[in-house]
Structure 1
Amino acid sequence: MISALMLVLFVVAFVIGIPVSASLVLAAGVAMLLVGQDLIGIPQHMAASVRGLELMAIPFFILAAHLMMQLGMIRKIFDFAEAALGWIRGGLAHANVLAGFVFSGISGAAVADAAALGSIAMKEMPRAGYSAPFAAAIVMSISTLGAIIPPSIMMVVYAIMADVSIARLFLAGVVPGILVALSISALIAFYGAFRLTPMPDPPAFDGRRLLRTTWSALLALFAPLVILRGMSAGFVTPTEAGVLASLYALFVGCVERTISVRAVYAALRDTVESSAHILFMIAASSAISYIFVAQGTAASIATAFGDANLNAVTFLLLATVVLLLIGCIIETMPALLISVPLLLPTANSLGIDPIHFGVLAIFNLLIGIMTPPMGIGLFILSSVSGIRFGRLAWAAIPFVLLLIGMLLVLTFVPRLTLWLPDLLLPVNS
């Protein structure tokens, strides 16, 4: 009962405009007063939740992404993708997918992906003759790759909560990320084949431009390989991989002579702001999680599912619906921090691999933010781009349905997520 009241209070506080982190602390504080506990427990739990060394990976991956943006590497990746795919029908849209896929292997955050690619795509695509809502829908769908392709900040947080290997969870996102990127490109090709949206006639293939842009972007294109190979081979831990990514970005900036004091300062400033926001949200959510544990909420949910004799597939389908609804109304990070402590014990009791469940949960919440009619990502992008909400929501529907279809495929075929980590980092190794 206390847990339910706490969640209701959190949602009400969030809806009336109180910041997410403050809403979490407020709800936890009221719950602790109702159960007769001292409020001093809130700052104690908040401080304890962000002491783990594993969390150091978050600011370093964020720093690497901001350095890449400030030093012009994202533009070079986009130019390479456009030269490689721009000559086919819908080439600029396909180039966005390829650029998003590569940048996802650097950024670690869906928001960073949307910001970096959106700043380019939302100018280039309408200028080339694509509809603005179609371009925005592509940017939103591509941004989901930022949290499932390693490195991923949400995966770091989930791995700490679920007590699983961060490196294995990173590897588990590779195959789903590739499949999602290919499916988005397939949908774009479908649009082009049946002329369902305005697409300009593609230019002729320019081999010289492809060679020139490949050479220009070569060092930036190697960044995801350096990060992933370092972790899969066991040379570096995920936290060290974040440091390596940041140092690599600085190295590329020095080699290409794009580095400057102003650019590094801007990257550091943005990193501090983003990291503080994420870490404070983690700290605030820890108070909520403490109430769930103290009240036995997660255990009660697991018992209820056990009494209902539901199998693992049924639970995953129900969890999909719940997570999609949560993702529609709450930002992905607090949604993950609130939902995982409630659902993971049941998943474990049903024999669901926590690595597999983590990929599904994160992907689920990302789809939720772009799902009409309530997806908060739609409202944010509508206000930023000036596109009417109705037009944006209508353009997003096919992409949302596609992503839900991919989610169901991953749900029913767990080997798609577990094959690569079992191959490169087996549990018994």
Structure 2
Amino acid sequence: MVSATAFVIAIGLMILRVPVAIALGIATLVGFSMLGVPAVVIPSRMIDGIDSFALLAVPFFILAGNIMNAGGITERIFAFARALVGWVSGGLAQVNVMASIIFAGMSGSALADLAGLGAVEIRAMRRNGYPVPFSTAITLASCTIGPLIPPSIILVIYGLATNTSIGELFLGGVLAGLVVAAALMIFIFLRVRLSGAAWARPEPFSPREVLRTGIAGAPAIFAPVVILGSLVLGISTPSELGAIATGYALLVGLAYRQLSWRKLKVALIQTVTMTSTIMYLFAIATALNFIVTRERVAHKAAEALASAITSPVLGILTVNLFLIVVGMFLEGPVAILVMAPILLEVVAEFGMGPVQFGVMLSFNLLLGMITPPMGIGLFVGGKVAGIPPEAVLRATLPFFVPLLAGLLLISFVPAISTWLPGLIFGR
């Protein structure tokens, strides 16, 4: 009862446009008061929640993404992707997806992909005659790949919230991200072929251009190998990967001679702003989870859903539908911190492990980023392209077909998210 009251207060305040941080804080204060726990315990719980070495990965990955955007890395990635897959039906739309795959191995944030690489992609597609709404829509859809392929800020938050191995989550997201990318590329291929869109014509393939752009962008393209290789070979922990990614991004930016002190200062300010928000949300959500744990909400919810739904397929579909609705109203980190500990016990009743659920949950909430009414991606995409968010939404709707197909594959084919972690960590 206390947990339900706290959630209703938090969601109600958010609907009234109260900032998320303040809404969660008020809900937590009311919950502690109803339980008869002194309010002085809240700061103690908040400090305990962020007293974790693993959380260092969050600011480092954010900083790495900001430095990459400032250091001229995105242009070289796009040029290489264009030479590599620009000849496939769909042309620059296929390039858009491929560039997101490469950039995903360096930045753990979908919004960093959208604001940095997305600006380069939309500008190039506009110059080549692609409709701006379509260009923005495919950019928005492809940026959901980023936080699945490591490094991933959202998977780090899930791992800490549920005490799941971040290394296994990172490896679990690799194939999942590639599956979603494949679904998008197949959809683009079929849509262009069936519609006969003249503006989506492929470009001539040139092995010489692939070699030239590959050599020019080698330091940037090699970043995912450095990051993922350090994890697989046991050279570094997931937390230390953030520092490695930041150091590598700094070296590459300096090598390209496009990273000035002014750009670095802006990247640092953006990192501090975003990190402080995430850390506060993590801290207050830890205090809120104290109420949930004390009332055994997770255990009761798992028992209730398991008794009401006996079919694992129907149960997982129900959880997915619930998460899609949650993602429409709550930001990804907030939803994970509040919902993940509860739903993990629920899906366990249907035979789903923590790594598969973490990947499924993360992608579900990424879809919320491009879904109204919150849909921050719609607003960022519209701002980057210079068109209204309503136009972005209309153009994005068809791309939900491949994205939801990818979600279903992740949800019902465990090997997609468990095979690689089992291969590396199970040996």
TM-score category, normalised to shorter length: over 0.9
Q: Kindly provide the CA deviation profile for residues 204-240 of structure 1, in whole angstroms up to 9, marking residues without a partner as x.
A: 3344433221111001101001111110111110111
Contact 1:372 1:397 in 2 (8 A): no
Match of 2:267 in 1: 267
Query: Using a 3 Å threshold, how does the CA distance of structure 1 residues 249 and 388 change in structure 2: closer, same or farther?
Result: closer
Contact 1:329 1:369 in 2 (8 A): no
Contact 2:65 2:112 in 1 (8 A): yes
Contact 1:330 1:376 in 2 (8 A): no
Query: Using a 3 Å threshold, how does the CA distance of structure 1 residues 85 and 307 change in structure 2: closer, same or farther?
Result: closer
Q: Percent identity, aligned pairs only?
A: 37
Match of 1:178 in 2: 178
**Count of residue pairs brought into register by the alignment:** 427
Query: Using a 3 Å threshold, how does the CA distance of structure 1 residues 284 and 210 change in structure 2: closer, same or farther?
Result: same
Equivalent AA in structure 2 for residue 230 of structure 1: S
Contact 1:166 1:238 in 2 (8 A): yes
Aligned-residue offset at 1:378: 2.9
Query: Using a 3 Å threshold, how does the CA distance of structure 1 residues 209 and 350 change in structure 2: closer, same or farther?
Result: closer
Q: CA separation in 2, counterparts of 1:312 and 1:407?
A: 16
Aligned-residue offset at 1:121: 2.2
Query: Using a 3 Å threshold, how does the CA distance of structure 1 residues 268 and 391 change in structure 2: closer, same or farther?
Result: closer
Contact 2:378 2:393 in 1 (8 A): yes
Aligned-residue offset at 1:387: 3.0
Q: CA separation in 2, counterparts of 1:79 and 1:69?
A: 15
Aligned-residue offset at 1:311: 4.1
Aligned-residue offset at 1:394: 2.5
Q: CA separation in 2, counterparts of 1:258 and 1:187?
A: 36
Specify the SS of the correspondent of 2:199. Answer: coil
Match of 1:319 in 2: 319
Match of 2:410 in 1: 410
Aligned-residue offset at 1:290: 1.5
Equivalent AA in structure 1 for residue 393 of structure 2: A
Match of 1:344 in 2: 344
Aligned-residue offset at 1:370: 2.0
Match of 1:235 in 2: 235
Aligned-residue offset at 1:106: 0.7
Specify the SS of the correspondent of 2:264. Answer: helix
Q: Does 1:95 align with 2:108?
A: no
Q: Kindly provide the CA deviation profile for residues 106-145 of structure 1, in whole angstroms up to 9, marking residues without a partner as x.
A: 1111121111122222322223211122112112211111
* Stretches of structure 2 lacking an aligned partner (at least 5 in a row): none
Contact 1:130 1:198 in 2 (8 A): no
Equivalent AA in structure 1 for residue 235 of structure 2: F
Q: CA separation in 1, counterparts of 2:163 and 2:274?
A: 24
Q: CA separation in 1, counterparts of 2:423 and 2:298?
A: 32
Aligned-residue offset at 1:334: 0.5
Aligned-residue offset at 1:171: 0.3
Match of 1:131 in 2: 131
Match of 2:292 in 1: 292
Aligned-residue offset at 1:309: 5.5
Contact 2:91 2:200 in 1 (8 A): no
State the TM-score, normalized to the length of structure 2. Answer: 0.94
Q: CA separation in 2, counterparts of 1:382 and 1:259?
A: 27
Contact 1:93 1:135 in 2 (8 A): yes
Equivalent AA in structure 2 for residue 336 of structure 1: I
Q: CA separation in 2, counterparts of 1:366 and 1:326?
A: 11
Contact 1:67 1:249 in 2 (8 A): yes
Specify the SS of the correspondent of 2:119. Answer: helix
Match of 1:27 in 2: 27
* Stretches of structure 1 lacking an aligned partner (at least 5 in a row): none
Q: Kindly provide the CA deviation profile for residues 368-427 of structure 1, in whole angstroms up to 9, marking residues without a partner as x.
A: 23235764533554466453444322322221122111111221210111111111111x
Contact 1:154 1:362 in 2 (8 A): yes
Match of 2:106 in 1: 106
Q: CA separation in 2, counterparts of 1:74 and 1:201?
A: 23
Q: Does 1:250 align with 2:250?
A: yes
Contact 2:76 2:217 in 1 (8 A): yes
Equivalent AA in structure 2 for residue 276 of structure 1: S
Equivalent AA in structure 1 for residue 302 of structure 2: A
Equivalent AA in structure 2 for residue 407 of structure 1: L
Match of 1:37 in 2: 37
Aligned-residue offset at 1:4: 1.7
Q: CA separation in 2, counterparts of 1:406 and 1:58?
A: 26
Contact 2:115 2:384 in 1 (8 A): no
Match of 2:305 in 1: 305
State the TM-score, normalized to the length of structure 1. Answer: 0.94
Q: Kindly provide the CA deviation profile for residues 327-376 of structure 1, in whole angstroms up to 9, marking residues without a partner as x.
A: 01111111111111221122234442111111111111111232357645
Q: Does 1:394 align with 2:394?
A: yes
Equivalent AA in structure 2 for residue 97 of structure 1: V
Of stretches 77-86 and 310-319 in structure 1, the one that deviates more from structure 2 is: 310-319
Aligned-residue offset at 1:26: 1.4
Equivalent AA in structure 1 for residue 412 of structure 2: F
Q: Kindly provide the CA deviation profile for residues 131-171 of structure 1, in whole angstroms up to 9, marking residues without a partner as x.
A: 12211211221111121111111111111122121111100
Equivalent AA in structure 2 for residue 315 of structure 1: G
Q: CA separation in 2, counterparts of 1:62 and 1:198?
A: 39
Of stretches 331-340 and 39-48 in structure 1, the one that deviates more from structure 2 is: 39-48
Of stretches 101-110 and 396-405 in structure 1, the one that deviates more from structure 2 is: 396-405
Q: CA separation in 2, counterparts of 1:210 and 1:350?
A: 47
Of stretches 150-159 and 286-295 in structure 1, the one that deviates more from structure 2 is: 286-295
Q: CA separation in 1, counterparts of 2:165 and 2:361?
A: 16
Q: CA separation in 1, counterparts of 2:61 and 2:311?
A: 38
Q: CA separation in 1, counterparts of 2:167 and 2:391?
A: 40
Match of 1:424 in 2: 424
Q: CA separation in 1, counterparts of 2:413 and 2:407?
A: 10
Contact 1:76 1:216 in 2 (8 A): yes
Q: Does 1:158 align with 2:158?
A: yes
Specify the SS of the correspondent of 2:310. Answer: coil
Contact 2:133 2:395 in 1 (8 A): yes
